[in-house]
Amino acid sequence: MATASGQMIDAREVVRQRLMGRRFELGGALFEGLLLAAVLVAFAILALLLGTVIVSGGPVIAERGVDFLTAPLASNPDTAGVGQGIFASVVLTVFVIIVAIPIGIGAAIYLEEYARDTTFTRLINTTVRNLAGVPAIVYGLLGVAFFVTIAEPLGNNGRNIYAGGLTLGVLVLPIVIITSAEALRAVPWTIREAAFGVGATRWEVVRSHVLPYAAPGIFTGTILTLARAFGETAPLLVVGAVAGSFRYTADNLFDQLSGPYSALPTIIFTWAKRPEVGFRANTAAAIIVLLVALLTVNAVAIYLRNRFERRW
């Protein structure tokens, strides 16, 4: 009797300990460790990438400073710079802003605010999603087939910055549409209903109620899209950005625009393929310039999102 009661107390104690005790479980800890390792490896790679680039490119920037940022392309690594690339990349970004942003935001407004669920609307939605997944180099082929032909009268057999800008604009258009549509969708319906309720037309609702609330989201998405266009390389090579060095023969802006060009990422590609040690360092330095531009743009976008984002 006494022994049986003792056993019962033991059993109860064992169960209590099983339920309350924080036992260390090796398998679970290993699993969590592996998962954390996956995240850390990704960050280690990012750190290694930035470190490598800074170590080999930093000295070039430190030594030559402004000269590296403004000097033209050259076959001597000590005098070659990325001036032409920065100029072309900025001009290309302006083209992307002109081509993709008005059309992209307009399309997003149509899809989110105007379109009813018709076959036509669904066709457009499917098309936009699929266009976003088309490899960048295929847009280059579209550029060669159409935009280079259109831009031919402007100079350099159509292999000019106009054709490049149109190609990049079309490339980012689906992404602008998708991000803008998401921002519009986040505005609650009650805002629209309130405006309709006081007799506003659809355009008045969109212009004075939906767009102001969606603007920070649209703006952030658009800036990130521009960053994407800024680093895009393959389509530019296909539509004729120079993969070598060249000189501006003309002094005025218009003639420079219609002549040969090479953007910052295409310069990185060209230099990365060159065997000379000097160009190795120059490539890293050009990558620093590109990444500083991209990270600044990203930081601005994230700051704007955090500053103006509204939770409903």
Partner 1 sequence: MAATPGALTPAPTLDDLRGAGPRRRRELIVRLVFMAAASVSILISLLIILSLIGRAGAFLFQVDLGSLLERGWFPRRDLYGLPTIVAGTLVVAGIGMLVATPLGLGAAIYLSEYATPRVRRSLKPILEVLAGIPSVVLGYFAITVISPNVVQVVCTDATIFSMASAGIAVGILITPLVASVAEDALYAVPRSLREASYGLGARKRTTSLRIVFPAAVSGIVAALILGVSRAVGETMIVAIAAGSTGGALFEVNPCAGGQTMTAAMTALAIGSEQVRGSGLAFPSLFFVGLLLFAMTLALNLVADAYVRRVRKQI
Neighbours of 27 (CB within 10 A): 7
Query: Does position 12 bind partner 1 by CB under 8 A?
Result: no
Buried b / exposed e along 88-110 (16+ C-beta atoms within 10 A): bbebbbebbbebbbeebbebbbe
Q: What minimum distance in Å lies between the beta carbon of 235 and partner 1?
A: 9
Query: Does position 215 bind partner 1 by CB under 8 A?
Result: no
Query: Does position 273 bind partner 1 by CB under 8 A?
Result: yes
Q: Which of 1, 4, 20, 34 binds partner 1 (CB under 8 A)?
A: 34
Q: If we measure between CA atoms, which residue out of 302, 157, 178, 175 comes closest to residue 240?
A: 157
Q: Which of 92, 284, 285, 289 binds partner 1 (CB under 8 A)?
A: 284
Of 43 and 189, the one with the shorter C-beta distance to partner 1 is: 43
Q: What φ, ψ does residue 235 adopt, rounded to 5°?
A: -60, -35
Query: Does position 15 bind partner 1 by CB under 8 A?
Result: no
Query: Does position 279 bind partner 1 by CB under 8 A?
Result: no
- Using CA atoms of 88, 93, 97, 101 in order, give the dihedral in degrees to the nearest 10: 140
Binding to partner 1 in span 240-269, by CB under 8 A: 243, 265, 268-269
Binding to partner 1 in span 101-160, by CB under 8 A: 102-104, 106-107, 109-111, 113-115, 123-124, 127-131, 133-142, 144-146
Site string for partner 1, 44-73 (x = CB under 8 A): -xx-xx--xx--x-----------------
State the burial class of residue 76 (Cβ atoms within 10 Å of its Cβ: 0-12, 13-18, 19+).
exposed
**CA 77 to centroid of chain Cα atoms:** 30
Q: Which of 84, 225, 233, 282 binds partner 1 (CB under 8 A)?
A: 233
Of 11 and 35, the one with the shorter C-beta distance to partner 1 is: 35
Q: Which of 228, 245, 274, 304 binds partner 1 (CB under 8 A)?
A: 228
Q: What's at 73, amino acid-wise? A: L
Q: Which two tokens stand for residue 17?
A: 């300990």
Residue 97 · residue 86 · CB < 8 Å:
no
Q: Which of 21, 27, 153, 197 binds partner 1 (CB under 8 A)?
A: 27
Of 227 and 257, the one with the shorter C-beta distance to partner 1 is: 227
State the burial class of residue 13 (Cβ atoms within 10 Å of its Cβ: 0-12, 13-18, 19+).
exposed
Residue 198 in 3-state DSSP? coil
Of 3 and 197, the one with the shorter C-beta distance to partner 1 is: 197
